[in-house]
Amino acid sequence: MQRYRAQRYYMLNKPMGVITASRDERHDTVLELFPAELRRGLFAVGRLDKDTEGLLLITDDGALSHALMSPNRHVEKRSTRRSWTAHWQRMQSCALNRV
């Protein structure tokens, strides 16, 4: 007898400095932001660079992931990147304007 298991969906605001991967020996990963007991079977839908922050969908739903990421589906994806450098320059600019 098969047991029904609900799919899990999380929206994650990925911080800068964390990589979009399930495992990595050298860097912190997005899955490490979740408690260990929730990580099993989860993966990120899409990818953001290490030096960018933004919204990521984390799920265990492979069918949804495929539907969203498959080039044949033509799902529009929007990305606004803010790198560490741009973020740092903006912070410096704000600090200088306060002086």
Instruction: Name the phi and psi angles at 98, rounded to 5.
Output: -85, -15
Q: Is 49 a catalytic residue?
A: yes
Catalytic annotation, pick one of 49, 51, 60, 61: 49
* Residue 20: DSSP 8-state: S
Identity (one letter) of the amino acid at 58? I
45/7 Cα distance (integer angstroms): 14
Q: 73: Cβ–Cβ under 8 A, 6 or more apart, which residues?
A: 67
CA angle 51, 44, 86 (to 5 degrees): 15
What residues are labeled active site? 49
